Amino acid sequence: MSEPLLSVRRLSAGYGATTVVRELDLEVRAGESAVIIGPNGHGKTTLLRALNGLIRPSAGEVLLDGEEIAGRPSEQIARLGAVLVPQGDGLFPEMTVEDNLLMGAFLGQSWRDRRRSLAHVYDLFPGVKARADQQARTLSGGERRLSALGRALMRPSTILMIDEPSLGLAPVALDAVYGAIAELKSAKTTILLVEENFTHVGGIADSIHVLEMGSITRSGSYKELSEDEGVVAAYLGSIT
């Protein structure tokens, strides 16, 4: 086995005096799609924010492709190919959808490459293309999520992180979003995805990690964990 692409060791992070993520260990291999599930408030979003430099970890190390990134500012981590679709989508509300997408290609590309990526994203998400000239704040929740996902595809990623793609979406939009993620997985994109429960991730998860009280308490394949009664009772039954 080669080195893991992302390797997190004893990472702690939080806000002010409150530690949310505690001594967390995690590994994601290249090409793998890893899913973290866990209840709200147990540190999923905090973990992604810390991994992407939006908050400064208080302890621990994070290696991305062999480079230590813990404590670096997010613009530097982005340069190494980390891409995050943050909670709330993080679209620029007063920009058009197209400008939002173009911002996704901010890092080092020629204009033509940007246009090419744009065409690619529009191919992938025709619904986004239809909204190209609309201001992002006027979009519906599903359109917004797809636009954010599309923006994340505007530059090549070493790892694509997605914070709760199902959050607040209607079933139809949900299918579109997860359909897109499934396509990304089949294209061998390395994905680290966070969800509250098992419900939607069955088709895409290579590995599942349970995040409770700031640490990973269980790890395994989807199959292993979906047969674990404790895990299933906690994380499968909540959404009908």
Q: Residue numbers of the site for other proteins (CB under 8 A)?
A: 14-18, 52-54, 73-75, 78-79, 83-84, 86, 90-95, 99, 102-104, 106-107
Listing DSSP states for 103-163 in one string gives: HHT-SS--HHHHHHHHHHHHHH-HHHHHTTTSBGGGS-HHHHHHHHHHHHTTS--SEEEEE
Q: Quote the least distance from Cβ 229 to other proteins, whole Å.
A: 36
- Least separation, in Å, of the C-beta of 36 and other proteins? 18
Q: What's the min distance (Å) between Cβ of 47 and other proteins?
A: 15
Question: What's the min distance (Å) between Cβ of 27 and other proteins?
Answer: 23
Give the CA-trace dihedral at 6, 63, 24, 231, to 10 degrees: 0
Shortest Cβ 96–other proteins spacing (Å): 10
Give 64: exposed, middle or buried? Use CB within 10 Å, 0-12, 13-18, 19+. buried
What is residue 177's three-state secondary structure?
helix
Q: Write out the two tokens for 175.
A: 């299918």
Residue closer to other proteins (CB basis): 97 or 231: 97
For the record, the structure tokens of 225 come out as: 């964990």
* Pick 77 or 205: Cβ nearer other proteins: 77
The residue among 51 and 225 lying less far from other proteins, judged by its C-beta, is 51
Q: Which is nearer to other proteins, 74 or 134 (CB)?
A: 74
User: H-helix or E-strand containing 83?
Assistant: strand 82-85
Which lies closer to other proteins via its Cβ, residue 18 or residue 240? 18
**53/150 with CB nearer other proteins:** 53
Evaluate whether 139 touches 146 at the Cβ level (below 8 Å): no
Amino acid at 82: A
Q: Smallest Cα–Cα separation from 158: which of 15, 51, 26, 36?
A: 51
CB 204 within 8 A of CB 193: yes
Q: Name the residue nearer to other proteins (CB basis): 95 or 236.
A: 95
Q: Minimum Å distance from CB 162 to other proteins?
A: 12
CB of 125 to other proteins, least distance (A): 18
